[in-house]
Each structure stands twice: as structure tokens, then as C-alpha cells.
Amino acid sequence: MDRIVRIISLLRKQTPAYVEPIVTRVARQSDPFLVLISCILSLRTKDATTAEAGKRLFRVARTPQQMLSIPLARLSRTIYPVGFYRTKAKNIHAICRRLIDDFNAKVPDSREELLSLHGVGRKTANLVLGLGFGIPAVCVDTHVHRISNRLGWVKTAVPEETEHALEKLLSRKYWIEINTLLVAFGQNICLPVSPWCSRCSIRAYCPRAGVGRSR
């Protein structure tokens, strides 16, 4: 555990030099609904594209009622070119209708209820809990899954296995933060292919599991 605490401490020092993950930036507005919608937009989409799409969308709609008032075709055009933008537009409408009908137009703060929303999986639910509500939850995306395995923290095949393994490994006080730290690190240093090991502040603690070529 001392090794993990040291790694987290080093990542905290290094992360401010990077551009923050877009959902973390949106979370600073203290609105779980904006966090939820940003998560939907970000799925299988680069952060820069998500950021621009979110800016366009949130200029015209910031509540479930306002989102539903946007015709589906216009909503699709507004969030283009995020990945699967037509499907995401439909999902946003379905989510907003459900929030209005069943949750008094508020985002629920339980994983079970979040997972009941159309298009919301564990990654999105946990990110909303953590960044939207400050409720400890381990959000595992591709970066968290990859880096946790490279560091030797876990030996898992899929993100859900990584989530459960990290819950056992990490103190709850790190559950929310670990996503922001590892996503920023994964976008800038610990890349999927040929990571920048020569620039890495935690290389002394990393067994580089599964790393073939690096820089």
C-alpha cells in the first residue's frame, strides 16, 4: 500500500501539467446532470471533441426539460461529431424523459437507479456518483484498466473486474480521484501504444506489465 500511496502522490504532482479530463472540468460546475450528459458524449470519443460538443450543447440546454425541447435532428447536429452521435442524441432524450417522469427531473444518486437509465453503464454511473455527487466509486475506463494492469495493481481481463479489484486494493479516499489521475496520465504519458516511459514520474515503481515498445 505504501507503494500505491507514493504513486498517487507523484501523479498528483504531475497531473496539473496536463489538460484535465473533460468530465472532471464539467464537474467543477457542481451539476450532476451536466456530468451525466458529458459522460454520455464522451463515450468512445476523444476529449477535445467531447469538450467542443458539450460547449455547443450546454449553451442551448442545461436541464432535462431544455434538452427534450430540442428536436432530435437538431440535437444530433449539435453534438456532432462525437462518436455515435445519432444514438447518443436518442439516449439523451430517453434519459431526460425518464428523469422528468421518474426522478422529478433530478439525476439519481444511486448506482442501481443510474444503471436503469437508457445508455448508462457502470463506467458512467460510477463517474456520476464520484464527480457529480462526491460518493466514493471507482470509475474504470480504458485508461484506468490499462494502467492498473501495467502497474501490476491488478491482473484483470475486463474493466468490471478491474473495478472490483481496485475497490479491494485502494482506500476509499482514492476511489473518486483515481479516475482523473489515471485518465490524465493515460492521455499524456502512459499511452496505449509506445508509452512515454522516459518522461514518466512513476517509472521506478512500474513493472511495465504488457509493455512492448516504449519511448
**Residue 140, pLDDT score:** 98
| Sign (positive or negative) of CA dihedral 192, 195, 199, 203 | positive
Model pTM score? 0.93
| pLDDT band, residue 44 (cuts 50/70/90) | very high
Q: How far apart are CA 96 and CA 77, in angstroms?
A: 18
Residue 24 within any structural domain of the chain: no
Q: How far apart are CA 144 and CA 166, in angstroms?
A: 10
Percent of the chain with pLDDT over 90: 95
Query: Amino acid identity, residue 190?
Result: C
Q: Are residue 115 and residue 82 in the same domain, yes or no?
A: yes
Q: Are residue 12 and residue 74 in the same domain, yes or no?
A: no
pLDDT, tens digit (0-9, with 9 covering 90-100), for 75-124 = 999 999 999 999 999 999 999 999 999 999 999 999 999 999 999 999 99
Residue 23 within any structural domain of the chain: no
Residue that finishes a domain, picked among 133, 152, 179? 133
Q: Whole domain around residue 164: which residue ranges?
A: 2-18+138-205
Residue that finishes a domain, picked among 133, 165, 181? 133
pLDDT, tens digit (0-9, with 9 covering 90-100), for 59-76 = 999 999 999 999 999 999
Contacts of 24 (CB under 8 A, 6+ apart): 131, 180, 183
Q: Locate cell 434538452: which residue?
A: 67
**Residue 23, pLDDT score:** 96
Q: Give yes or no for residue 1 having a pLDDT over 70.
A: no
**Residue 193, pLDDT score:** 93
| pLDDT band, residue 19 (cuts 50/70/90) | confident
Query: Amino acid identity, residue 112?
Result: E
| pLDDT band, residue 201 (cuts 50/70/90) | very high
Q: Are residue 49 and residue 121 in the same domain, yes or no?
A: yes
Closest CA to 205 of 169, 156, 151, 159: 151
Contacts by 149-156 with C-beta closer than 8 Å and gap 24+?
Answer: 149/209, 149/210, 150/190, 150/195, 150/206, 150/207, 150/208, 150/209, 150/210, 150/211, 151/7, 151/202, 151/205, 151/206, 151/207, 151/209, 152/206, 152/207, 152/209, 153/4
Domain count, the chain: 2
